[in-house]
A and B are shown apart, each in its own frame.
Chain A
Amino acid sequence: MNTGKTAAGILLLTLLAVAVQVGASVSGRDYYLTQLTMAAYTAAVVMGLSLLVGYTGQISLGHAGFVAIGAYTSAFLSTAPLAHASGTALGKSLLRFHVLASRPELYGDGTVVSLAPGLAFLAGLLLAGLVAVGIGYPALRLHGHYLAMATLGFGLIVYRLVLGTAFLGAADGISSVPPLPILPGVACTGEPGQRIANYYIAAGFTLMVLLFLLNLTDSRTGRALRAIHGSERAAAATGIDTAAYKLKVFVLSAILAAAAGGLLTFYRGSIGPSDAGAMKSVRYVAMVAAGGMASVWGALVVGFVLTFLSLRGCFGSFDDAVFGVVLIVIMSFTPEGPFGPLRTLVVRFRARRRPALANGESEKEIPRVVA
């Protein structure tokens, strides 16, 4: 639809990302990059959720559960020791083919063998996808409040499970997660030397999610999703398999959440039950709403900025309250998201210029009305 505009937006965003990094490094505030990296991963979760909530009209109050599934699977599989495997012939060949990975023991002089981080990460995506199918198949037959309740219940179950499971570290979670190698010499890890590289890994990942979602929403699939949002009955009458689409989008947004959760875990080197909490899920939905519901760009900007400010501690102990206030303010004044007023201004500006510009000439394009 607006390929040129989208490309310009992406370019601007890339330049902005580079400028922020250079600015932070030059001014000696490299530590900002840590929070920026984490905020980028959160923004990816919010964008994936916006596809589900904003475009398809299905609410999920359990997305922190999917983040946790991705994070915990990555952390558990890449740290669980497979000591008995390292001695066998099979274990040795698996090590050679990077199915298994060894690393020095943290407190000791031996080495520990575990599943390779990359495979642990993929396993997290797979598990989140499977769970989403299992949850989504019955839950998406519910509507409105019932769907919200069902997903909220799912989120609470995940939280209780990770909190009460000994091999997942119970209340402590899992720490000393190994780095996730991405390129030779570059890994997704919290090591200070890799801080700038990781900022770009997160930015690249988020940009890829953005591009993917923008493409998706402007395709036959995207129109089908918006049609479901507009009227499920009419969408079905035009031949859209509404149930299948709702399930697919649910699974997709769950996998995106798990991917962001997994990468965040490798970056921080640890994961705890608080990331699976119900309040986190509510926050994700609040950020989607504040971003303008059906706006991938809005979700990105709001998700990124709010999470960054929250991580910097700008909101103090009022953290959750600020998210609530932001939601109320945006919903009351610009329900179409933070870009709403901006777009209205642009339309007004163009409308004012048009008569002078098109005097005598026929203007083919009718100005798009912002509802």
Chain B
Amino acid sequence: MLRVRNLRTGYGSLEVIKGVSFHVAPGEVVALIGANGAGKTSLLSAVVGLLPPWDGQVVIGGRDATGAPPWESIASGVVLVPEGRRIFADMTVMENLQVGGYRNPDRDRLIDEMFDRFPRLRERRGQTAGTLSGGEQQMLAIARGLIARPRLLLLDEPSLGLAPLLVKEVFEVVRGLRDLGVTICMVEQNAVAALEIADRGYVLETGEIILEGVSEDLLRNPEVMRAYLGKGYREVWE
């Protein structure tokens, strides 16, 4: 579905992704985890073309998509639900969904489907999106992504800034999508929760992948902990 090889990118002269390779197979849920500043968001941005790659290759569904603009990666079935939700606050819930289906002529039918999946959004269809609660906004962001009918859904920090109860709710939604067979690549700081629903995971540290493995293995791996709490946390805390 998605194969990234030796990807390098950054901002200005600052290299943020230093040669990353990973892949997502069809039907799989993959978690990219790592601490703040590890380069998770930059990596997804480079995959969909929001950030131009310096070097390396992005292959989507067998076709080279390196550096293709985002509207082209959407056409090949990759949809990004951006970090911090980025819903269109001044537009209504309905309009947000319509924009989500911008490239999908079948959007009206899918909007109904989304309303069935997220009944809260149906209740609030005429309300401006900025007045929704954080959890509802995240649902809207995910629904907006799904309306583009992705073959691969990229979720950037879906639990960011949500209360613990809502975090659970959002992960339930992701779990539901997984059971429906949507291929998902998820970036998360909340490593444990992400790995619990993922099949596989990659651990990202300062722009490089330091670990790769099946979720259960990663959950038990002390290196994961170390990547999160910084080098030598044992000396400091134990």
- Please report the C-alpha to C-alpha distance between residue A366 and residue B125 in the assembled complex, in whole angstroms: 9
Q: A365-B126, A366-B124 are in contact. Are A239 and B88 (CB under 8 A)?
A: no
Tell me the nearest residue of chain B to A241, going by C-beta: B71
Taking the closest CB of chain B, its distance from the CB of A104, in whole angstroms, is 56
Q: Which residues of A contact B127 (CB under 8 A)?
A: 366, 368-369
Q: Which residues of A contact B81 (CB under 8 A)?
A: 237
Contact with B along A227-245 (1 / 0, CB 8 A): 1011101111111110000
- Please report the C-alpha to C-alpha distance between residue A371 and residue B128 in the assembled complex, in whole angstroms: 8
- Please report the C-alpha to C-alpha distance between residue A223 and residue B93 in the assembled complex, in whole angstroms: 12
Q: A234-B87, A371-B90 are in contact. Are A239 and B102 (CB under 8 A)?
A: yes
Contact with B along A345-371 (1 / 0, CB 8 A): 000000000000000000001101101
The one of B50, B98, B124, B131 in contact with A237, judged by C-beta atoms closer than 8 angstroms, is B50
- Contact, CB under 8 Å: B86 / A234: yes
- Contact, CB under 8 Å: A238 / B144: yes
Q: Which residues of B contact A241 (CB under 8 A)?
A: 69, 71
Size class of the contact patch on chain A: 20 to 34
Instruction: Confirm or deny: A224 has a beta carbon within 8 angstroms of a beta carbon on chain B.
Output: yes
- Contact, CB under 8 Å: A236 / B130: no
Taking the closest CB of chain A, its distance from the CB of B144, in whole angstroms, is 7
Instruction: Confirm or deny: B89 has a beta carbon within 8 angstroms of a beta carbon on chain A.
Output: yes
- Contact, CB under 8 Å: A240 / B102: yes
- Contact, CB under 8 Å: A238 / B99: yes
Q: Which residues of A contact B75 (CB under 8 A)?
A: 239
Q: Which residues of B contact A229 (CB under 8 A)?
A: 90
- Contact, CB under 8 Å: B86 / A240: no
Instruction: Confirm or deny: B224 has a beta carbon within 8 angstroms of a beta carbon on chain A.
Output: no
- Please report the C-alpha to C-alpha distance between residue A176 and residue B71 in the assembled complex, in whole angstroms: 51
Instruction: Confirm or deny: B70 has a beta carbon within 8 angstroms of a beta carbon on chain A.
Output: yes
CB-contacts of B189-238 with A (<8 A): none
Contact with A along B60-101 (1 / 0, CB 8 A): 000000000111001100011110001111111001001110
Q: A231-B88, A371-B90 are in contact. Are A224 and B99 (CB under 8 A)?
A: yes
The one of A220, A227, A294, A366 in contact with B88, judged by C-beta atoms closer than 8 angstroms, is A227
- Please report the C-alpha to C-alpha distance between residue A229 and residue B89 in the assembled complex, in whole angstroms: 10
- Contact, CB under 8 Å: B91 / A239: no
- Contact, CB under 8 Å: B74 / A238: yes
Tell me the nearest residue of chain B to A365, going by C-beta: B126
- Contact, CB under 8 Å: A230 / B126: no
The one of A230, A239, A365 in contact with B70, judged by C-beta atoms closer than 8 angstroms, is A239
Instruction: Confirm or deny: B179 has a beta carbon within 8 angstroms of a beta carbon on chain A.
Output: no
Taking the closest CB of chain A, its distance from the CB of B99, in whole angstroms, is 5
Instruction: Confirm or deny: A226 has a beta carbon within 8 angstroms of a beta carbon on chain B.
Output: yes
The one of B82, B88, B128, B130 in contact with A368, judged by C-beta atoms closer than 8 angstroms, is B128
Residue with the greatest number of chain B CB neighbours at <10 A, chosen from A227, A234, A240, A368: A234
- Contact, CB under 8 Å: A226 / B126: no
Q: A224-B102, A240-B102 are in contact. Are A371 and B91 (CB under 8 A)?
A: no
Instruction: Confirm or deny: B48 has a beta carbon within 8 angstroms of a beta carbon on chain A.
Output: yes
Selected A-B contacts with CB under 8 Å, 21 pairs: A220-B98, A220-B102, A223-B95, A223-B102, A227-B99, A231-B82, A231-B86, A233-B86, A234-B88, A235-B88, A237-B50, A238-B145, A239-B74, A239-B103, A240-B102, A294-B90, A366-B124, A368-B92, A371-B89, A371-B90, A371-B128
Given contact pairs A230-B88, A294-B90, a sample of 15 additional A-B residue pairs in the complex whose CB atoms are under 8 Å apart: A224-B99, A226-B88, A226-B91, A226-B95, A227-B91, A230-B87, A234-B82, A236-B71, A237-B81, A238-B74, A238-B99, A239-B71, A239-B102, A239-B103, A366-B123
- Chain A residues in the interface with B (C-beta under 8 A): 220, 223-224, 226-227, 229-231, 233-241, 294, 365-366, 368-369, 371
